[in-house]
Structures are given as structure tokens and as C-alpha cells.
Amino acid sequence: MQTWDPRQPIYQQLADLLAAQLLDGDPPEGQAMPSVRALAGQHLLNPLTVHRALQALGDEGLLENRRGLGLYVTPGARERLKAAERQRFLVAEWPRMRDRLRRLGIGPEQLEWEPRA
């Protein structure tokens, strides 16, 4: 069964997980999110926790409430997520990676950009 990191609120971890799925187009923009109950069953979480995670995604503008229909993936949500991920990479991951590359003496010309066939 799923284990959750004790250093972070569970709802935040679920929100991150759902955001990663949205980035992969699951569900696609403009489509309905699974219901709170379905997500709660799937991840074995209390429905209140799921509700909080969805609310967090709604606050970030990734989901929108369609009256009487439930939550839908906001058009443009993937682009937004991608922009945020890019920013996170550039600020948090890249400096560490760059330092490591420097230490190892690896320059851009030694890095393969095209995946091998």
C-alpha cells in the first residue's frame, strides 16, 4: 500500500501527485477530475484529505468548479504546470547540477542532446 512521507502533509503530497499526472495529460485539459470518493478509494485516503488536495489545485488555478458538474481541468493547466516546473528546475535543481558538471569538468559539447536510437 502507498506510504506517505511523514515530513509533509498528506494532502500536499496528493496534490503534487495529481499535479504530476495533470502534467502528463491525465486527465486532459477540459476533462472532469475523478470524484473525491474515487480518489479516496484509489489512494486509501480520508475523503477530507482528498478534498483539501483538490482545493489546493483549485487555488493554483489548475482545476475549476463547474457548477453542479464537479471539478474540471482548467484549459491551459498543463502549460502553467510546465512553466512552474521549469522555474523550479532552473532555481532549485540546475545550480546543483551545474556545480557537479563543473566539478567533473563536463562541458556542453560532451553532453548528448539527442537520445540514442
Partner 1 sequence: MTVASQDTLVEARNLSVLYGARRAVDDVSFDIPKGRIVGLLGHNGAGKSTLMKAMVGLARPQGELKVLGLDPWRDRVALLQSACYIPDVAILPRWVRVDDLVTLMSGLHPRFSADRARQLLRRTSVGLADKVKTLSKGMVVQAHLALVAAIDARLMILDEPTLGLDVLSRKAFYEMLIEEWCDGERSVVISTHQVEEIESLLSDVLMLNEGKLVLAISLEEIDRRFVALSHDAAVADEMAAAHPLLRYRVGPGPGGSAALFDGEPPAHLQALGRRMRPSLVDLFVALTRKPELDRTQF
Q: How far is the CB of 56 from partner 1 (least distance, A)?
A: 16
Closer residue to partner 1 (CB): 53 or 77: 53
Question: From the CB of residue 73, how many other CB atoms can be counted at a distance below 10 Å?
Answer: 21
Out of 31, 46, 65, 87, the residue judged to bind partner 1 by CB under 8 A: 46
Q: Is 38 in the site for partner 1 (CB under 8 A)?
A: yes
Residues of span 77-96 touching partner 1 by CB under 8 A:
none
Question: From the CB of residue 86, how many other CB atoms can be counted at a distance below 10 Å?
Answer: 10
Out of 20, 25, 32, 48, the residue judged to bind partner 1 by CB under 8 A: 48
SS3 89: helix
Burial class (CB in 10 A: 0-12, 13-18, 19+), 55: middle
Point out which residues bind partner 1 (CB under 8 A).
Answer: 1-2, 4, 6-10, 37-38, 40-49
